[in-house]
């Protein structure tokens, strides 16, 4: 596979947690790429996440929705887009349980609009082949379902078994991407990632919730008995993995990106309490006593784990951040932001 060099990139969901990191990282490392950032700025996206990048001449922010069948094709043509990096998705599992409709609309219909409009523009109108355009789709390990204590980690050939409306909607979008590759030869790649963490993550997510609860002296909510296990990936490592796949990945292939950091939720809470004590100078016990077990959510997957050997072997990617060091950087960022809002 020859190396692909994007020129004009449409990043969907580029004001969200992972998307904003990708935009900032790309602006820092690649001076020749122009970025069009399309985001609807729902609860999960914020212009504040783009601090340091909004004034770049390489970056254009567009307020809009990926389901907009007039806006998407106009952006493709106006900016002569040759690469789509598709982050935009509803991703909060608790919200999917309470109201699954918007997850189907954004994750399934929105992905369909992007695929169909790029197919028309790239293949029919431009007549481009795989050397001239690329559609990269970001998915999740949750499409694979759940693992038992002794099950091997998910690989790219693990059967799909989504257990929530969120993961089912992402699985559907994955299948659409695969279908467009095989039916129309649309040049696509897909990555399925493990749980991300780092600065700018939405406050409803697990690690920001624990940090915020500690700093505000509120109970730390932990589902069930806290034994649920996740593989944690520092967000910047995820972004470098995505870019490696865009530049070097084989067409039609899926690559799993994980951090090889398998921790139970209760151990994460204890690590965060210890790290917060180091950063703030407070007593660790002050935070630990806030621990509060709450009723588990419906259909809560017990364990996720990612086998990243394919991307490591084929593309030479490795996570650069050791987990506890990444947690320390993350805690320092949130503490700084909290102190700025609590002078």
Catalytic residue ranges: 141-142, 166
- Per the CB < 8 A criterion, the answer to whether 293 and 224 are in contact is yes
Beta strands in 87-169 (DSSP E): 134-140
Instruction: Name the token pair of 19.
Output: 């998307």
User: What is the per-residue DSSP string for 190-236?
Assistant: EEEE-EEESTT--TTSHHHHHHHHHHHT--EEEETTS--EEEEEEHH
Residue showing tokens 């431009």: 126
Instruction: Name the token pair of 158.
Output: 């693990």
- Per the CB < 8 A criterion, the answer to whether 154 and 147 are in contact is yes
| Residue in 201, 193, 65 with CA at minimum distance from that of residue 139 | 193
Please give the DSSP secondary-structure letter assigned to residue 92. -
3-state percent helix, strand, coil for the chain, nearest multiple of 5: 45, 15, 40
């Amino acid at each position: 596979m020859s190396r692909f060099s994007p020129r004009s990139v449409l990043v969907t969901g580029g004001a969200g947690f992972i998307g904003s990191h990708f935009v900032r990282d790309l602006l820092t490392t690649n001076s020749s790429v122009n970025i069009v950032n399309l985001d609807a700025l729902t609860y999960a996206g914020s212009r504040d996440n783009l601090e340091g990048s909004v004034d770049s001449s390489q970056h254009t922010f567009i307020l809009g929705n990926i389901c907009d069948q007039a806006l998407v094709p106009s952006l493709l043509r106006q900016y002569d887009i040759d690469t789509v990096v598709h982050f935009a998705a509803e991703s909060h599992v608790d919200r999917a349980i309470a109201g699954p409709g918007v997850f189907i609309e954004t994750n399934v219909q929105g992905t369909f609009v992007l695929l169909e409009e790029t197919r028309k523009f790239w293949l029919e109108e431009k007549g481009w082949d795989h050397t001239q355009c690329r559609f990269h789709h970001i998915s999740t390990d949750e499409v694979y379902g759940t693992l038992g204590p002794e099950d091997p980690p998910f690989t790219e050939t693990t059967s799909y078994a989504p257990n929530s409306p969120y993961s089912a909607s992402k699985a559907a979008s994955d299948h659409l991407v695969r279908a467009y590759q095989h039916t129309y030869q649309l040049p696509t790649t897909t990555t399925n990632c493990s749980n991300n963490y780092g600065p700018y993550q939405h406050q409803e997510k697990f690690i920001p919730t624990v940090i915020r609860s500690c700093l505000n002296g509120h109970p730390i909510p932990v589902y069930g008995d806290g034994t649920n296990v996740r593989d944690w990936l520092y967000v910047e490592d995820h972004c470098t993995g995505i870019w490696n796949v865009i530049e070097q990945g084989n067409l039609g292939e899926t690559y799993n990106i994980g951090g090889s950091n398998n921790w139970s939720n209760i151990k994460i809470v204890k690590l965060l309490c210890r790290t917060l004590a180091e950063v703030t100078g407070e007593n660790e016990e002050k935070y630990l006593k806030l621990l509060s077990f709450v009723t588990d959510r419906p259909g809560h997957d017990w364990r996720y784990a990612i086998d990243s050997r394919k991307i490591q072997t084929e593309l030479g990617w490795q996570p650069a951040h050791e987990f506890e060091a990444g947690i320390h950087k993350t805690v320092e960022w949130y503490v700084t932001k909290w102190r700025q809002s609590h002078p």
